[in-house]
Amino acid sequence: MNNKLLSLTLLKWIIWFSITLIITFNVWIWVDPSALSHLGAEKRLIDNYGGISGMVLWQRIAGFVVDALPAGLLIAALASLIGLIRQLEAGNWFAEASERALARVGHLMLWYLLASFLNDTLLVLIATATNPPGERALAISLSSDTVLGLVPALMALVIARMVRLAREQRDELNQIV
């Protein structure tokens, strides 16, 4: 196996490991938050409003669902990246399937950013929903992580466009020859 294919195989393993971690921690933190706090994983935002352990069952379920949405979008983007890697392994650098996979990664990352932006706001609403009137909270936050997340999303969309243009030029040159 040459180095290019080996590095792609390694990248696929890293992606699968990342997907496993995303699923594991997203479920674990809502099922048993105290166990993960020993590892340094915590939901500081939620802790400011009473913590996960202080939530009633419907709040935990709603919080999990709200947290699962961006996680699911990120997992879908990573799965699309695996599809792209498979196209590259097959030598289909300029194939329409490669372009679609890249565009899908970009679009899913944009949706992930939107879901991440709304995540903290919805979690605060859920965490304070059972508080008496006047003690409920609304928090809107925009972090640099959200803004920086635009870079890979937009890069994927730009590269997808470049693949399309390269494929069109290749097809045009093949017709001339």
Other C-beta atoms closer than 10 Å to the C-beta of 62 total 18
Neighbouring residues of 108: CB distance < 8 A, sequence distance ≥ 6: 73, 74, 76, 77, 80
Of residues 139 and 159, more confidently modeled = 159
Tens digit of each residue's pLDDT (9 = 90 or more) over 34-66: 766 655 555 666 777 777 777 888 988 999 999
Tens digit of each residue's pLDDT (9 = 90 or more) over 129-150: 887 787 777 777 777 887 888 9
Q: What is the pTM of this model?
A: 0.84
Q: How far is CA 9 from CA 1, 47, 69, 80, 116, in A?
A: 10, 39, 28, 15, 29
136 torsion bin: left (phi>0), alpha (psi -120 to 50), beta (else): beta
The domains of the chain are located at: 3-176
Residue 42 confidence (pLDDT) = 53
Cα separation, 121 vs 65, whole angstroms: 14
